[in-house]
């Protein structure tokens, strides 16, 4: 469920950008999608979440098989990194908050890698 909430939040974030910040002015929106690196990082995260959302049901888990489903859902790590990079590149002056998120993500991914190599996870 956490992945679905993350996708929902990302969609709300994108909708807020399109509706409130750009007021449906499609020329600067499309220009930003190709020229601003923080928007590209955010869109990468959202695009990589699409197959995760589409395969998040138990029926899709059975159809894909547990191992393939689990391999596909490891894309969430790349999505999380893209989210932190998006936030980091968005900020212009005070990097303290994105650094906190980056540190937390680094700790969580480091914890995951540590136990992966220890053979306890997967």
Between CA 90 and CA 27 the distance in angstroms is 20
Q: pTM of the full predicted structure?
A: 0.86
DSSP string, 7-27: HHHHHHHHHHIIIIISTT-HH
Q: Is 120's pLDDT higher than 70?
A: no
Between CA 24 and CA 16 the distance in angstroms is 10
Terminal C-alpha separation, the chain: 20
**Digit-coded pLDDT (tens) for 63-96:** 999 899 999 999 999 999 999 999 999 998 899 9
Write phi, then psi, for 6 (nearest 5 degrees). Answer: -65, -40
Between CA 92 and CA 103 the distance in angstroms is 19
């Amino acid at each position: 469920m956490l992945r679905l909430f993350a996708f929902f939040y990302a969609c709300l974030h994108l909708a807020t950008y399109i509706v409130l910040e750009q007021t449906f002015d499609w020329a600067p929106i499309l220009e930003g999608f190709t020229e601003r690196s923080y928007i590209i990082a955010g869109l990468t995260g959202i695009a990589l979440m699409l197959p995760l959302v589409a395969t998040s049901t138990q029926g899709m888990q059975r159809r894909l098989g547990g191992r393939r489903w689990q391999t596909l859902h490891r894309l969430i790590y790349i999505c999380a990194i893209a989210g932190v990079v998006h936030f980091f590149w968005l900020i212009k002056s005070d990097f303290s908050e994105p650094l906190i998120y980056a540190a937390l993500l680094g700790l969580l991914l480091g914890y995951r890698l540590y136990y992966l190599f220890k053979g306890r996870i997967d």
